């Protein structure tokens, strides 16, 4: 299984791609400009026309930028889009963006979608958005889950994610840095709240419970540029894993650059050196 983070932050947006060698790739979120997205895909030897499907987690702009255009990404390249009912009500009724309705697919928490040989399971998550979802993508070589933009990890969600081979997991902020950030108090309260974003400590606690010997790789995502640092986040999660006696590959997704994970790592290295 190959996974790439095209961008991972509130500031630069979020978009992730999953593919297996014999299958077309699928995209999770599209919170980047079309220009950046096309450039990132080209760096992977792909174009937007290769994308088999797009799954949207929620309507916040750092996840949907390439949908909120006069000629949105899926319309331009004819890509089916899967999102929650709440998302589509927002997108189609309130924003008035135009998209071919044959591309619109409603997916609900607990539902499994089969596309291009992948099984994609949606799950709901506590975040201040309209019916927000996370996704587990299962291929023939493993499963990857995308767990970001959530204020806490409810126990049933931890149970669902337990033992997933590849974890893309939010580690948004260090609580002390957030409190000392000088940001407006309502924003701080939102980020720290039960429907906001996961702190490093919350991520570390949750990961230490849901990772198992089957967990191959953990990528910490959606780090705040102002209120976190890769070193602080990695240290917190590493110590949680150590307590649990686990040592999967652990890294941080760069906020605004392409990075490749899973078996795709080897592909990107060989491309870079050829
Ligand atoms: Zn976000
Ligand atoms: Zn959000």
Distance 58 CA to ligand 1 centre (A): 8
What per-residue confidence (pLDDT) applies to 266?
Answer: 57
Q: Confirm whether pTM is higher than 0.85.
A: yes
Distance 40 CA to ligand 2 centre (A): 22
Q: Which CATH architecture has domain 2-273?
A: 4-Layer Sandwich (3.60)
pLDDT surpassing 80 at residue 271: no
Calculate the dihedral angle through the C-alpha atoms of 250, 256, 90, 199, rounding to the nearest 10 degrees.
40
What per-residue confidence (pLDDT) applies to 97?
Answer: 80
Distance 271 CA to ligand 2 centre (A): 34
Q: Is the CB of residue 25 less than 8 Å from the CB of residue 51?
A: yes
Q: Cα separations (Å) of 80 from 24, 27, 44, 49, 156?
A: 13, 10, 21, 11, 29
Q: Which helix (H) or strand (E) is 14 found in, with range?
A: strand 13-19
Residues 148-201 have pLDDT tens digits of: 999 999 999 999 999 999 999 999 999 999 999 999 999 999 999 999 999 999
DSSP letter, residue 78: T
Q: In what order do the strands lie in the sheet with 217-221?
A: 112-115, 118-124, 133-138, 143-147, 166-170, 217-221, 249-252
Pairing mode, strands 143-147 and 133-138: antiparallel
Owner of token pair 């409190």: 179
Owner of token pair 């189609």: 92
Cβ-proximal residues to 165 (8 Å cutoff; 6+ apart), any chain: 1, 142, 143, 144, 214, 215, 216, 217
Can you give the C-alpha Rg of the chain in angstroms?
Answer: 18
DSSP letter, residue 149: S
Residues 106-133 have pLDDT tens digits of: 999 999 999 999 999 999 999 999 999 9
Q: Which ligand is nearest to the CA of 10?
A: 1
Distance 148 CA to ligand 1 centre (A): 7
């Amino acid at each position: 299984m190959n996974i790439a983070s095209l961008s991972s932050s509130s500031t630069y947006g979020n978009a992730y791609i999953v593919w297996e060698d014999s299958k077309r790739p699928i995209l999770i979120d599209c919170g980047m400009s079309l220009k950046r997205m096309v450039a990132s895909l080209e760096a992977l030897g792909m174009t937007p026309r290769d994308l088999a499907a797009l799954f949207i987690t929620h309507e916040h702009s750092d996840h949907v930028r390439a949908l909120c255009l006069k000629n949105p990404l899926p319309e331009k390249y004819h890509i089916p889009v899967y999102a929650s009912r709440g998302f589509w009500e927002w997108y189609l009724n309130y924003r008035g963006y135009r998209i071919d309705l044959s591309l619109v697919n409603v997916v609900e928490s607990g539902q499994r979608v089969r596309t291009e040989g992948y099984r994609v399971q949606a799950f709901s998550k506590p975040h201040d958005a309209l019916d927000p979802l996370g996704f587990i993508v299962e291929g023939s070589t493993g499963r990857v889950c995308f767990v970001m933009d959530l204020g806490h990890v409810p126990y049933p969600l931890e149970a669902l994610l337990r033992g997933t081979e590849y974890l893309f997991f939010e580690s948004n902020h260090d609580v002390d840095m957030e409190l000392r950030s000088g940001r407006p108090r309502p924003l701080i309260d939102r980020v720290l709240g039960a429907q906001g974003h996961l702190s490093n400590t919350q991520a570390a606690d949750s990961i230490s419970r849901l990772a198992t010997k089957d967990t191959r790789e953990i990528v910490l995502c959606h780090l705040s540029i102002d209120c976190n640092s890769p070193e602080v986040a990695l240290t917190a999660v590493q110590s949680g894993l150590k307590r649990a006696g686990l040592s999967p590959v652990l890294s941080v997704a760069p906020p605004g650059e392409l990075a490749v994970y899973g078996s795709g790592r080897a592909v990107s290295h060989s491309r870079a050196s050829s």
